[in-house]
Structure 1
Amino acid sequence: MTRQVCERCLFTPSTCICNAVKRLKNKVRVIILQHPSEEKIAKNTAKLVNLSLIDCEIVKGENNSDFAILKSLPLESTVLLYPNEQAINLDEQAHSAELSNITHLIVIDGTWKKAYKILQLTTLLNQFKTVSFKQLPTNRYAIRKAPRADSLSTLEAVAHSLFLIEQLSPAPLYNLLDELIQKQTQHMPKHVKARYLS
């Protein structure tokens, strides 16, 4: 017997988040490279980004052949969100002129280990400039534990990036994340919920 799910958000009726989805007209196209193992994780936030942004695409895979889309992106105006030593900080005033030229934002969706694996196997990514943040926004996504202090969910990373690049308000995306957290924790015993949301 197959489980009933919402056709739009793919959550069960009791955890459907569609009432909190607000469509946003982003100028910078967002390309999410998703590790295959992330697709079936209920708490994955990439699909929330895809539901919210008018110009967004999720591509599943691990290497160059999976991500052939990268060959068609403009080299000069496409950036990869990844915190390496060469990364330009989106939140530093000195880089404001460079930000106005960005047309495409590539984001890797996966754990740190899986994101690093995608980076190693997808040499096509090496041709793009990398961007990151000097100051991270507060992590709002407590229900999915991360091993590193500088971890943000895909939704938070995209929301903050688009806010810095094109001043797109992150509030609708954060509201959707709050709705997901509320729905995913609604049936937890109080002591368990408190542990997640403290």
Structure 2
Amino acid sequence: MSRIQCARCLRPESHCLCALIPQLDSRTRVLILQHPSEVNHALNTARFAALGLINAQLRIGEVFDDLGELLRQPGYQARLLFPADDAQPLSVYAATKHEGDPLLLVVPDGTWKKARKLLHLNPALTLLPRVTLAQATPTRYRLRKAPGPGALSTVEAIVQALQTLEAPQSFEALLRPFEALINGQIAAMGDETYLRNHAVQSPTS
């Protein structure tokens, strides 16, 4: 028998995290394009970002027929948060935030392979100027092995981007349900299993 889900956070009702989700406003608009494979994932962090930000939108799919309309938001300049050799650090926009339109930050959500597929299937995304986090802080995502230095969960990447663009405003509250989710998963599996499969091992001397 399946457990009853919270319709908002999609967690089992007995583990609903809605009480931890803030309502934060931002000058930056965030558009999250989520690959369908992430929707029912136990560690779906993009949903927390979309629920916790007033000026955010979450769309689910592989091909977005209305992408042109989504990207043409009056008063915003669209930028894709995704690595590239010519990507500009977001700090450039933070330094000039009072000199132009705020950003529409487009964030693909999925594994690196699925995120690249979203770009391939939606050519309008590849035409957007790209931006990156110049120096991402280490991930707090202790249940997934990062594919490389600077790899973050979607909610972490959005928080760090907004912290850069809108300092001194803090968006750390967006990470509260994320942290609770991680801690709950670790508690459910038990310390021994977590330490064996996920904890970083100290090098032997």
TM-score range for the pair, normalised by the shorter chain length: 0.7 to 0.9
Residues 49, 155 of structure 1: 8 Å contact kept: yes
CA apart distance, 1:176: 2.3
TM-score by length of 1: 0.88
Query: d(CA) in 2 for partners of 1:145 and 1:75?
Result: 38
Q: Does 1:139 align with 2:139?
A: yes
What SS does the aligned partner of 1:31 have? strand
Residues 78, 104 of structure 1: 8 Å contact kept: yes
Give the alignment of 1:150-189 within 5 angstroms.
Answer: 150-167=150-167, 168-189=169-190
Query: d(CA) in 1 for partners of 2:71 and 2:128?
Result: 11
% identical aligned pairs: 36
Q: Which residue of 1 aligns with 2:203?
A: none
Residues 24, 54 of structure 1: 8 Å contact kept: yes
Unaligned runs of 5+ in 1: none
What SS does the aligned partner of 2:96 have? helix
1:70/1:123 CA distance change after superposition, 3 Å: farther
Residues 94, 164 of structure 2: 8 Å contact kept: no
1:132/1:33 CA distance change after superposition, 3 Å: same
CA apart distance, 1:64: 4.7
The farther-off stretch of 50-59 and 68-77 is: 68-77
1:68/1:24 CA distance change after superposition, 3 Å: same
CA apart distance, 1:74: 5.3
Q: Which residue of 2 aligns with 1:96?
A: 95
Query: d(CA) in 2 for partners of 1:69 and 1:192?
Result: 47
The farther-off stretch of 150-159 and 1-10 is: 1-10
Give the alignment of 1:27-46 within 5 angstroms.
Answer: 27-46=27-46
What SS does the aligned partner of 1:147 have? coil
CA apart distance, 1:24: 0.6
Give the number of equivalent residue pairs. Answer: 197
Give the alignment of 1:1-198 within 5 angstroms.
Answer: 1-65=1-65, 67-73=67-73, 77-91=77-91, 96-97=95-96, 101-167=101-167, 168-194=169-195, 195-198=197-200
The farther-off stretch of 47-56 and 167-176 is: 167-176
Residues 50, 57 of structure 1: 8 Å contact kept: yes
Residues 34, 108 of structure 2: 8 Å contact kept: yes
